[in-house]
Amino acid sequence: SSSLGATYQAASGDGGDFAIREVRVAPDYRAWVNPDRGFRDFSQAPIEIGEGSNRLDIELARLETGRLRGTMVDPAGAPVPRLTLYIRSLSATGNSVAVTGDEAGRFSADQVPAGDLYFETRAAPLVSVRGIRLAPDEEKDVAVLVGLGGGRLDGSGPGGSGTAIGGARVTVTGG
């Protein structure tokens, strides 16, 4: 609920049922589900939570997939070997497929979630790549431009009171 600044979470059981107890009453909740495998993300708003018992039945749509083959290359076009990227569709963020390039940067993946794709590392060097779209049942060959770069950016990020804030993620984007 944006009016209350309140967030509640639950995980569904084996039968798909879930329960969230002691939810504060408000008219402006948003529900979203990010399933791990096989289904698209779900979002619904506004959801009004009134006094007493409330019910929300969610129907998840099956996730469509395709096949992706390609090469990870640097900005000069040279292969990036042995890099692991995780591929997610922006319409199914809980579903990811890990791919690791071989010595020539080549990779292949089945069951890649269809849609606008997001490639990312989960360890240093932190890399994210967007701009590739995969249609349902499509087999696509791609070159994934991995801009590891040779530059460096240093700085500091003081908090509002001038004190340092540790653990903040800094992102630099182009264009």
CA pair distance 86, 119, nearest whole angstrom: 6
Residues 150 and 91: beta-carbon distance below 8 Å: no
CA pair distance 119, 14, nearest whole angstrom: 30
The per-residue pLDDT for range 53-100, each reduced to its tens digit, is 999 999 999 989 999 999 999 989 999 999 999 999 988 888 889 999
Angle subtended at Cα 29 by Cα 25 and Cα 34, rounded to the nearest 5 degrees = 135
The per-residue pLDDT for range 34-52, each reduced to its tens digit, is 887 788 889 999 999 999 9
The per-residue pLDDT for range 111-139, each reduced to its tens digit, is 999 999 999 998 877 888 999 999 999 99
3-state SS class at 123: coil
- Residue written as token pair 């995969």: 134
Highest mean pLDDT among 14-18, 34-38, 169-173: 14-18
CA pair distance 73, 128, nearest whole angstrom: 13
How many CA atoms are closer than 13 Å to the CA of 91, on its beta-carbon side? 18
